[in-house]
Every structure is written in C-alpha cells, then in structure tokens.
Structure 1
Amino acid sequence: MAQILVVDDSSTVRNEVGDFLQKNGLTVALAVDGRDGLVKLKADPAIKLIVCDVNMPNMDGLTMAEKVRSELNNNTVSIVMLTTENSPVMKERGKAAGIKGWIVKPFKGDAVLPSFKKLVGV
C-alpha cells in the first residue's frame, strides 16, 4: 500500500524520486507510463498523490490525469506533474484535469517534500 505513485518513463527519474521519497518516510509505488499508472492506481486505494511526467510512451501524463478523473471517477487523489514541459497550453490542460501542481525538472526533493507530505496527510 503506497501513499505516492511516481509515474515516469525514465527509470533514472523514477528511481531518483521514489528513493528520495522513501528515504523521507513515504511509501511509494512506481509506474513506467500513464497506462501502467492507471493500473497501479486502480490496484492500490491507499495512493493519495501521483507525481507524473507529461511526455511518455503508451499514455502521456495529461491523458492519464484526465482518465483518473473521468474513467476512474477519482477526484480525491492529488496529481502533480514533474516534467520538462513549461507550455501554458499544457498547463491549462492540466488545470482542467485537476492537476494540483506543475514542477519543472530537475527534481528538487527538499523543496517539494513539505508540500508532498501535506498532500498525503503526513
């Protein structure tokens, strides 16, 4: 049972973020793309936060976020995008999908840890 789902097609980023969060007392699940992320979210009702890349094969992060809200009808999980994308159009699409935050890579764990803990209720 994980508190946070990290979704990124880069194993380096996925492991870096996951390891940092685990070292700081959070439980983490990992997914390789948006499609895998949806499967993991369906299987683990304890997930309270998704940290997700935008550009991934099979299913991008924004499409995954939209499906979390529409197909899974899950409006309680918080979603934060961790991406190199900084396009206002993409940010608007994310906002429409209920994204809570938009973080531009590289990942700076110490800067976001307090917010992540608040989002998962720790």
Structure 2
Amino acid sequence: MSTVMLVDDSATILLSISSILGKAGYAVEKASNAEAALHKFKAGTRIDLLLTDLNMPGMNGIELIREVRKMPAYKFMPILFLTTESQQARKMEAKAAGASGWIVKPATADELLNTIKLVIR
C-alpha cells in the first residue's frame, strides 16, 4: 500500500481528499501546514507521494518541496500540488523546486486519482 502525505490548511480539504485516497486504497498521512509535514518527514514516516497545497500560513508549498528535496530518501519521490492557483509562472517555480505535477482545485476524484496513478511508483 502506498502512503500519501496530504498537506493543506483547510480541514475540509484534508477530510475530503483523505477520504477519496483511503477509498482508493492509499494510506494517508495528514498535516495542516508545511512545518507539521516536514516534521513527519524528518521523523522517518515512510511517504510515497507528497500532495500539497501551495498557499498556506507560514511555510508555503514551494518552500516545503525545497526542504523535502534536500532529504536523500525523498529526492525522487513524486510531489503534486493541489491548489486553486493556475498561473504559469507559479507552475514553473514549483517545477524548479521539484514538483512532479499540478492539480487545480476543485478537482474531481477521478482527476485526482488518475494523476496520482501517473506519478506514483
């Protein structure tokens, strides 16, 4: 079973997306901000995919990706953004930081799961 780390400051998003992922057979680790997610990574939690929001209080999603990519165990892990932003400049910034892909909210369950299947090993 693959484990997805879901990071979003919206409790509603955490609940709905984790439900979709759980029903699809994924184990889900949740964090309501980037700092909490980073703590789980550093604590040795095994993660197969990071699914993160971009805009969050404190550390944003791009900063989180940069920190995760510094860890040897997660250098090549797939990372997807799940965000309301769709500007090309932000996408390029995210890609430069190490993002594998981008999903614009609101996404359907099928869009989300199909994109995850494309990038997860």
Q: TM-score, normalised by structure 1?
A: 0.88
Letter in 2 for 1:87: Q
Q: How far did residue 97 of structure 1 move? A: 1.2
Whether the 8 Å contact between 2:100 and 2:119 is mirrored in structure 1 is: no
Contact map agreement 1:2 1:46 (CA 8 A) in 2: no
Alpha-carbon contact 2:21-2:27 (below 8 Å) kept: yes
Show the counterpart of 1:15: 15
Larger deviation, residues 44-53 vs 80-89: 44-53
Give CA deviations for 1:39-98 in whole Å, capped at 9, x if unaligned: 12223442110110000012110110011113x243122110000111222111111012
Q: 2:57 — aligned with what? A: 57
Q: How many residues in Structure 1 have an aligned counterpart in Structure 2?
A: 120
Question: Runs of 4+ in structure 1 displaced over 6 angstroms?
Answer: none
Match of 2:66 in 1: 66
Q: Which runs of 5+ in 1 are unaligned?
A: none
Match in the other structure for 1:90: 90
Aligned identity (percent) is 37
> Following superposition of structure 1 onto structure 2, how do residues 104-119 of structure 1 map, counting pairs within 5 Å?
104-119=104-119
Range with bigger deviation, 14-23 or 37-46: 37-46
C-alpha distance in 1, partners of 2:28/2:12? 15
Quick one: which amino acid aligns to residue 105 of structure 1? K
Q: Secondary structure at the match of 2:91?
A: helix
**Two-structure CA RMSD over aligned residues (Å):** 1.8
